[in-house]
Amino acid sequence: MAHEVWTFAEQTNGRLDAISFELLGRGRALADKRSTRLASVILGGNIDRNGIDELFRRGADKVYMVEKPQLKSYLNDVYANVLVYLVKKYNPEIFLAGASTTGRSVMPYIAAKIKTGLTADCTEFDIEEETGNLLQTRPAIGGNIMATIKTPNHRPQMATVRPKSTPIPPVQEGRTGELIAVDVPDNILEGREKKIDFRPHESEDENIQEADRIVAGGRGLKKGENFRLIKDLAHLLGAAVGASRDAVDRGWAEYPQQIGLSGKTVVPKLYMGFGISGSIQHLAGMKTSETIVAVNNDPDAQIFQVADFGIIGDLFEVIPELVTELEKRKGS
């Protein structure tokens, strides 16, 4: 039996984040191909046991839990120390984490410490039959090609996975697993960082990755004050506000609202894009939306290739008409 496949289960204030469950689908498929067990690793200060039970019901065979007051909040040094300790103690074959803020911070640190490879932002995985190596596929050269990478000489094979790139596995009622509470030496719970305070980003009250509806704006809005049109329409639709990288780079929107390879991947039921041409980087972040509506005055805009409904027209005329119609319907 091969060594275990691990996934990193993230928590916020003790409650597991969605990415913890998304990773189980990826991990379960790889563990089955390698005829081994799937384990999730969770660090925290006061971890919700219901979340751990859910890890088992959604596919984990084991959960390694380190529960210490020093782990309540994420600190890169301390988390990395603990994860390096666990990797050296249990020797997993594969270790996956989400390409979240936490995953992008801690996984490179671990890989450097244990001298192994790390492939970031993967969208597909497979096992090479002849060698058992993990095949890690990710967009490269601005999303123009898909590169497959492997780590043949070092273990564990490590990768981060784009959030929302895979559905959460269904619950299997009655499924259980083995919970292993690991005690770690006090000295590895010490780091160079200290949490002073936490101030949420102004736009973090709406998480575009969890939104069922998104209204997004791009360079076609021409200037920052025009982004109010996007916000007004989003408000009427009960939607989150998204943006292209161009709009964020110009300061019209905030980074947590950015959709694309360098931002977030979203899969809403409704995505509406205004003044967004549809670069490969942006399309990679939203093309799996259930229904895509695009408005652009360029009939050759790339976004029309993935749109379910396309309007070739001036967004400054289209949005006010949509707002008027929605207000009329709400009034009636």
pLDDT tens string 165-179: 788 899 999 899 999
Asked whether 260 and 282 are in contact (CB, 8 A), the reply is: yes
| Residue showing tokens 């101030």 | 199
Q: What is the pLDDT of residue 26?
A: 93
Q: What is the pLDDT of residue 221?
A: 94
Mean pLDDT over all residues of the chain? 89
- Binned at pLDDT 50, 70 and 90, residue 2 comes out as low
Q: What is the pLDDT of residue 144?
A: 65
* Helices and strands (H and E) in the chain: how many: 8, 17
- Binned at pLDDT 50, 70 and 90, residue 24 comes out as very high
Tell me which of 48-52, 83-87, 119-123, 191-195 is least confident: 191-195
Picking from 267, 209, 156, the residue whose alpha carbon sits closest to that of residue 19 is 209
Determine how many CB atoms are found less than 10 A away from the CB of residue 299. 8
Same fold, 5-189 and 202-331: yes
Q: Which two tokens stand for residue 321?
A: 């008409």
CA atoms within 13 A on the CB side of 249: 8
Mean pLDDT of the region 102-119: 92
Asked whether 294 and 218 are in contact (CB, 8 A), the reply is: no
Fold exhibited by the domain 5-189: Rossmann fold (3.40.50)
What lies within 8 Å, CB to CB, of 317 at 6+ separation is none
Fold exhibited by the domain 202-331: Rossmann fold (3.40.50)
Tell me: the pLDDT tens digits for 244-303?
Answer: 999 999 999 998 899 987 788 888 899 999 999 998 889 988 888 889 999 999 999 999
Query: What is residue 169's DSSP assignment?
Result: P
Determine how many CB atoms are found less than 10 A away from the CB of residue 165. 19
141 torsion bin: left (phi>0), alpha (psi -120 to 50), beta (else)? left
Cα(157)–Cα(154) distance, rounded to whole angstroms? Answer: 7
Q: What is the pLDDT of residue 211?
A: 87
Burial class (CB in 10 A: 0-12, 13-18, 19+), 116: middle
Q: Which two tokens stand for residue 250?
A: 């110009």
The amino acid that residue 232 corresponds to is D
Statement: residue 157 has pLDDT above 80 = yes
- 167-117-137 Cα angle (round to 5): 40
Sheet holding 270-274, edge to edge: 240-243, 213-217, 270-274, 291-296, 309-312
pTM (2 d.p.): 0.74
Q: Calculate what percentage of the chain has a pLDDT beyond 70.
A: 95
Asked whether 212 and 164 are in contact (CB, 8 A), the reply is: no
Q: What is the pLDDT of residue 206?
A: 66
- Binned at pLDDT 50, 70 and 90, residue 143 comes out as low
Q: Which two tokens stand for residue 168?
A: 């959460």
- 22-23-29 Cα angle (round to 5): 110
Pairing of strands 124-127, 15-16: unpaired
Cα(224)–Cα(325) distance, rounded to whole angstroms? Answer: 25
Task: For the chain, give every domain's residue range.
Answer: 5-189, 202-331
Mean pLDDT of the region 307-324: 93
